Amino acid sequence: MTHYRAPQNKQQYKPAKPENLYGPETENRETFPFFPAFVHVTGKKVVVLGGGEVAAGKLLLLLRSQADITVIAPELCTDIATMVDTGAIRWEAAPFVDTMLNGAVMIFDAADDMHMTRRVKIAAKRRNILLNVVDKTEHCDFIVPAILDRAPVMVTISTGGCAPALARIIRQRLETTLPASMSQLASLARSARRRVAAHLPDNVARQRFWTHFFQNGLQDTHLTQSTPQDLDAALTRFVPEGSSATVPGGQILHADVTADNAFDLAHGIARAIETSDIIFHMPGIAPDILGLARRDATVIELESTGDDGNIDDDARERLKHQAAFFARQGSNITCLYRN
């Protein structure tokens, strides 16, 4: 089945400018000094310098990963000693030398010794190894964000090292918003990916199914009772076995937006934006509202045709027909008007 993207007709529509989606012009908006990313450490060497309580805190987090962890310290606190005794980590008690870093992908310096830190920085730079010096952002190649653990789901919050306490407060607030049971939902999805791919060979259909499944699951008060059979039932309802359909028809939402920011936006509209393939919008829609859109969504700014700065009835009717056309192709459409 062929899928179409909305034409960006310059007579009636114009593409949204980057600053309309992500804020002011590039040179006027603040950039982030640390690029957000997750580092693959399974089976790879990670070094922690220091044997005190600060190092123990980093190790408790590292032990959640599948890294091969080595601690370099002349002495160990009780917690780290226990980790060594159980075989969870390795311990190098000898004085630090540069070659101890060979083969590492990351280093955590928690020794609180600036003389050693200077040596470690030089050694790490020579070997192109990422370095984190605990509580000294100016010496860091990477920083560790506040983490909301819903493994296999992990939500991270960072302020770029300028306000760690604020990141922790945000994480605490999210703790009350995101149910712990979403972990079970993600695990269920992980085990069913191949089954869903076999049932829905079309990528658009799979994306739409997972969106519906997760949204319904997160609203389900009986989430902890979800089973593989529940997922199979949802899959059959989405596209019945033996059906010739590859992608169900898309949904359309026409909405008047009165909010000036995403926080005040009605939940239904926010949800529609997040799941839309194509978004038409009037000028004046707040950038952070448009920022709710998926990165691969098509976002098109409408030109005003009415005296009130909106679009007139004829233009709105044409837009409805166009939205219906793309919905028949399986796309979710959201049209945002400024009220």
Q: What is the dihedral angle through the alpha carbons of 178, 184, 187, 188, rounded to the nearest 10 degrees?
A: -120
Alpha-carbon distance of 162 to 140, in angstroms, equals 13
Mean pLDDT, 10 residues at a time, the chain of 339 residues? 42 44 51 88 97 95 95 96 97 96 97 95 97 94 89 87 87 82 85 88 82 74 65 82 65 91 89 90 91 89 76 86 87 88
Both tokens of 75, joined, read 């002495």
pLDDT of residue 64: 92
pLDDT at 333 (0 to 100): 92
| φ, ψ at 35 (rounded to 5°) | -75, 125
What single string gives the DSSP state of each residue in 103-136? TEEEEEE-S--HHHHHHHHHHHHHHT-EEEETT-
pLDDT, position 243: 62
Cα→Cα distances 325→50, 85, 233, 331, Å? 63, 66, 29, 9
Q: How far apart are CA 217 and CA 182, in angstroms?
A: 8
Contacts of 56 (CB under 8 A, 6+ apart): 77, 79, 80
pLDDT of residue 23: 43
What pLDDT, on the 0 to 100 scale, is given for residue 51?
A: 96
| Residue 8: predicted pLDDT | 43
pLDDT of res. 198:
86
Q: What is the 3-state secondary structure (H, E, C) of 190-246?
A: HHHHHHHHHHCCCHHHHHHHHHHHHHHHHHCCCHHHCCHHHHHHHHHHHCCCCCCCC
Residue-wise over 310-329: b if at least 16 C-beta within 10 A, else e?
A: bbeeebbeebeebbeebbeb
Q: Exposed (0-12), middle (13-18) or buried (19+): which is 284, by Cβ within 10 Å? A: middle
Contact 50, 111 (CB under 8 A): yes
Do 273 and 329 contact (CB within 8 A), yes or no?
Answer: no
Distance CA 58, CA 78 (A): 15
